[in-house]
Structure 1
């Protein structure tokens, strides 16, 4: 077991035993991924390098709830005609934009951009089979908290 793995095991055990009872409990750190509540039922799958972070929030069954790509630039460009909902992620207002999946017109798709303090941007996306599921996934995504050194004050 590596030092980082051992630390994760200790933190997980502490959370399970309620040793960290002040404030909200957060899921384990996963590379460059933001924090999500430990009771969200989600875990991070992380891939990245020095230039980008790719995170997928996975449900217990292994399906993706939402994902994000953090880099200097992202391929997503919001279009004002696709605005759907507004919300907040870590105290910062975001606009969710409708998207489409080729060949799957009934799938609800949402995307947003979140500027970070280190000059990078988080492109966050999700897919849902209906409006109720979409609302739940948006609520889960909006519980993310980025480390203070990464969230932009813009």
Structure 2
């Protein structure tokens, strides 16, 4: 059976645009806001569902390359519609070192143009936004390779730093 993700019409952001602010709770109930990461590069990655094959591959790839991402000055934040209980189980099962944020009201995904549908269910569309320390979008990954996403991110950051 083919799985098809369809993007919803929504905000169309592009590099250079200000990143929409967000206030999202992680698995432990801590609220994360864009301004909390002022001065840092953020890889804000939206993904459809905790503990599903593609999402697990992506999260584990980011986990396995986490130190390289940190060394490059990149903060990783994952976002899906799952609640904090689901995020906590997913984080613990795969020993994920970065925050997973709950967008249960779907407002962040809408603001970022990452609302989607997968086999009839509303999900966050798989998309990653690189955001600079001033809150501007540096790059948008529309076609994420779940098995090598950390390399995609590192390559773009290296290129942008020139």
Higher share of residues assigned strand: 1
Q: Shared fold by TM > 0.5? A: no
TM-score, structure 1 normalization? 0.31
TM-score, structure 2 normalization? 0.30
Higher share of residues assigned helix: 2
Structure ID, larger Rg: 1
